[in-house]
Amino acid sequence: MNVLLDDEEQLIKTSAGEFLAAESTPAVVRAAEKDPLRYSKPLWNKFADLGWLGISLPEAQGGQGLPWSYTGLVFEELGRYIAPLPVHATLVPALVIAKHGSEQQRQALLPRVIDGSLMLSWALQEKDGRWSKDAVAMKGRLEGGHVVLTGAKHFVDNFGNADQCLVVFRMQGGKGGLRAILVDTKSAGIQAEELVPTTKDREDFVRFESVRVPEANLVGQGDAVIDDLMDYAAVLFASLMEGAARRAMEMSIAYVNEREAFGQPIGSFQAIQHMAADMLNGVDGTQLLTREALWRISEALPARVEVAQAKSFGNVKCLYVVRCCQQLHGGIGFIVDTDINLWYRRVTSWSMRAGTTYEHRQLIAAALLDTPGKVRLGMTQQLPSTS
C-alpha cells in the first residue's frame, strides 16, 4: 500500500471536500437535524447528481468502477463536514449487492442507487446488541417461493427513508444458516419505531411479523455475504470518524491559538500542546489503519483483521480527540449551540456503531490466539473455575 495519495486520488478527495465545504455547513447540518426526514434532501440530490454515490459501483450499472480506496476518501470528507446524508446506510448494502447480488438484482437496484432515486438500509443487530453473527436470532422459513421473516432488528440506520433493506436472518430447515435478503420496507407485517441517536439522523427499531419476501430477493450464499456486510459497515464508519475527528481537531487548534489567558494564547501551555500532539497521533493512526483496510478490500485481499484494527483504534482515538476538543473550548464546548458539539455527537455515535472497541479487539484476538475469550456487551466473561 502506498500511504501517499496519487494525483487522481488527491483530485477525488479535494473535489469531494470542496463540494461538501460549500454545501454541508453547520447551518445545513442543524436544519437536517430538525427535518422530519433527518437528512438534507437538496444536498442528497446534488451529491447524487455529481456521481459520488457510484464512485466504486460497477460501470455496467452506471457507476465509475473505481477502487474501494476512493470511496474511503469520499467518506473521510463526508465525516469531515458531517454531511447529513444517508450515504453509509445506502452504500454499504449497495456494495454488498455489487459483489454478491444476482445480475437481476444489480440491474434493478444499482442504477437507481447511483442516480439517488433509491435509498437502501441494512439490518443486522438485534436485542442482544452485539456486533456478531452469533447474536442473529431472526428466523426465516421457505414457504411457496417466499421467505417468511419473523423477529426484530435494532439500530437500523435510515430504515424509515429507505426503499429496500438488506436483512440478515437465520434460515430454518434444509437450507439453514445465516442469509441476507432484500426486503421492501413497506411490506405488510413490518412495524418501525423511530429512535433518536445523538447524531439526530434516522435510526429505527423494526419488527417483522410473518413478512413474506420473494425467494429471488436472497443475496448471495453463505457467511461471506454477512462478513462483507460487517466489514464494509465498520471500515466506512472508521473513515467517517477519522474525517470528523480531524476537522474537530483543526477547529480546536485554531481556537487555542486565538484564545488568550494570563496574557498569552492558551496554545502556549504545555498541557494543551501535549493534548494537541496526542490528537494528531490519533487521527493519523486511524487514517493509516483505515486506508490499509480499504486498500486490502480493493485488492481482494483478506481484510477482516485490518478492518477490526481500524475500527477498534478509531473508536478509542477519535473519541479521545473530540473529548479533548470539548475541553479545549472550555465551557462553551459542552453547549449544544456550539459547532464543535456537532462533531462530538457524531463521533460518539459512530464509535458505537458497527462494533465496539471490545468486539473488534476480540476479532483481532481470535486471529492471534488459539483460545480467545468471549466478549459480551463490552465485558470480558469470567473463565470457569478450575478448582
- Which sequence spans correspond to the domains of the chain? 7-119, 122-221, 224-378
> Does the structure show a pLDDT above 90 at 362?
no
Q: Which three cell numbers stand for residue 224?
A: 461471506
Cα(342)–Cα(329) distance, integer angstroms: 13
So what's the pLDDT on residue 387?
Answer: 35
Average pLDDT for 163-186: 89
- The backbone torsions φ and ψ at residue 331, rounded to the nearest 5 degrees and listed phi first, read -60, -35
CATH of domain 224-378: 1.20.140.10
Q: Between β-strands 139-143 and 164-171, what pairing exists: parallel, antiparallel or unpaired?
A: parallel
Average pLDDT value over all residues in the chain: 91
Q: Which three cell numbers stand for residue 165?
A: 433493506
Domain 7-119 identical in fold to domain 224-378:
no
Which has the minimum average pLDDT: 212-216, 241-245, 372-376? 372-376
Could you confirm whether domain 7-119 is CATH 1.10.540.10? yes
Average pLDDT for 134-163: 93
**Is residue 325 a contact partner of residue 347, using CB atoms and an 8 Å limit?**
no
Angle at 252 (CA atoms; ends 286, 334), nearest 5 degrees: 100
> Does the structure show a pLDDT above 50 at 256?
yes
> Does the structure show a pLDDT above 80 at 237?
yes
* Nearest residue to 138 via CA among 210, 194, 187: 210
Average pLDDT for 254-277: 85
> What's the whole-model pTM score?
0.91
> pLDDT: is 67 or 374 the higher one?
67
> pLDDT: is 371 or 255 the higher one?
255
122-221 topology per CATH: Butyryl-CoA Dehydrogenase, subunit A; domain 2 (2.40.110)
**Is residue 86 a contact partner of residue 235, using CB atoms and an 8 Å limit?**
no
Q: How many CB atoms lie within 10 A of CB 222?
A: 11
SS3 breakdown of the chain: % helix, strand, coil, rounded to 5? 55, 15, 30
So what's the pLDDT on residue 377?
Answer: 44
Helices and strands (H, E) in the chain, number of each type: 11, 12
